[in-house]
Structure 1
Amino acid sequence: MSTQNYNTFLTNINKAFDMISSQTSMQFVERTNQTEYITFTYTTSNSSPLGWQKNRVNGIKIYNITYPAIIAHEIMHSMGIMHEQCRPDRDQYIIVDVNKAVEGSRHNFNLYNDYAGHGAFDFGSVMMYQSTDFAIDSSQPVMTKLDGSTFTKQRTGLSAGDYAGINHLYGPVNATSTVNGTYTMTTALASDKNVDVSGSSTADGTSIILYSASTGNNQRFTFTKSDHGYYTIKSILDPTKVLTVKSNGTTNGTAVELRTNANTDSQKWLLFNLGNNGFGFAPKNAPALRLEVKNGTTTNLTPIVIGTTDQTVQPSTKQRFILTKVN
């Protein structure tokens, strides 16, 4: 690569970072000695790993070095953002015929249930392909709108939906133990029922239940980073107490309770951003299970437990929770 092309590439990498951070809380820091970071390589194609893995360097490959928005597209993949046409609800908006796509490219049109979109389907997203991308025959589009019409993509900048999605994905958790937001956890089963600390007690072993929504601290929680990718869910009643899987249980129906934070795996939760459907939570000690409202009922005092889920689809309604910032 010539010095001129190198300088162009570097300039547009920085423009891509600025493009993302300009309307989000994301900040990008130049690497010094960190073990996890992003590298950029000029190659014959554009690609990036999807999401982040502990102790992995995310190698982003770029061909279109003069397009900051294309570089931003790949950075967003490293941030865990999938193509818009891969949303689980995409069939409500578009028709996809993967048989019209070149073999080896068809994964670009897979549905990803754990990478749900936020807000309305966004044809203007920088993560959206156009109708003829990867088509065997450009006269036979891989994707059309429901009425059969085709559409083009844009790679000039992030859309309002892109910014809203990033802020939704990275908004509801604290990077440190410093409280910068308090949230209620409303069940997707009913908009007037929240996760609740029974009796507003802070004693170890207090039951976590479903109860009518209120403004009390018994229904307010903060999310703080724990192990890589995991979070503790702290009660505002007592920040030393966190949501805990009872007796470190790993079986379907095990109760969730409030207990002093001892940094155990039963107190660490992996968050699944389900876009419009809220969030799912998997305990580190039982990653195949999900936080849920027992039996999917909305009666006051219903226990909050961990339960089985079908890994091929989004969690059921009883395993989805809406996080609402209250202060």
Structure 2
Amino acid sequence: MATTIIDVAKEANVSPSTVSRVIANNPRISERTKQKVREVMDRLDYHPNFQARNLAAKSTKTIGVIMASSSVLAFQNPFFPEVLRGICSAAHASKYGMYLSTGETEEEIFDEVVSMTQGRRVDGIILLYSKVKDRTMDYLQSIDFPFVVVGRPFENEASVTYVDNDNTAIAAEVVDYLLSLGHQDIAFVGGDINYVVSRDRLAGYQQALETAGIPFQQAYYLQDSTVNEDGASAIDALFHLPNRPTALIAHDDLTAYEIISILERKEINVPTDISIISFNNHVLSQHLRPPLTSVDIQIYDLGLEATECLLNKMDDPKLPATHRIIGAKIITRESCARRGID
């Protein structure tokens, strides 16, 4: 049986109204009392039911948005402001607000989602990532809470509503584009392999090479964390291979920016010495020197479509899971050139 506000009041030896004021952070309640009540709430695993505090309300009119990492780190990546812009646009049209996760660790994010759902702080949740064996996604499925994923689920794909690009196909298309320019020695700097998007793009890269009769070389494959931690050494290793790559695919534009900066310091020219292409097509990419060829994955539309799917799911919980694939296209600029041509 769920813990009630009366249980908390009894355990803390205060009145239920005092507990309610502590939840609301009323300045009339002393810090000592607040601390005592909050300790009891934690011990009894009590989550305030904000919906129940207003019996007239049929919903919170709020959508929870969960990022894979802390908001401080996430907003360093232009992907998140743009996908949030799409979410806000659809939410605002339906008069919904947004509750953004603030947890710093995977454990904190999970605890926050539990609090959101058990406390009825939100009517539905959008996960802005898809991770291998994700505890949060498993939990949301287990309690049958309305949620949508931006990204293809690692497991139970058929039963989860999600919005994504066809990352395997678009990565293969990127390889084919470089092949059409005469490149065969193509390096790949992928993302964290614990995320499905990274796995799908790596799979597309490998499949396209296989189709072209080019063997996959482990030495050509790096993770973006390696570049971020010790980029100069990683790039040195690539350029000291017997057959050094003439083209490189980066997991996202931020990784490409870092690689180009390293190359510039080493006096390696893009695209004369190596062609570079990446994903996400951030607005800054067209202003880079040279302007960066990048895949436009329609980030705004990912957020917009995910929110519309969630609103539909909240309106009718019996709706079957839907899967929406957002188109993506290569935006050609000056960072890629035909092999051997300036």
TM-score, scaled relative to structure 2: 0.25
Larger RCO, structure (CA 8 Å, separation 6 or more)? 2
TM-score, scaled relative to structure 1: 0.26
- Where is the strand percentage greater, Structure 1 or Structure 2? 1
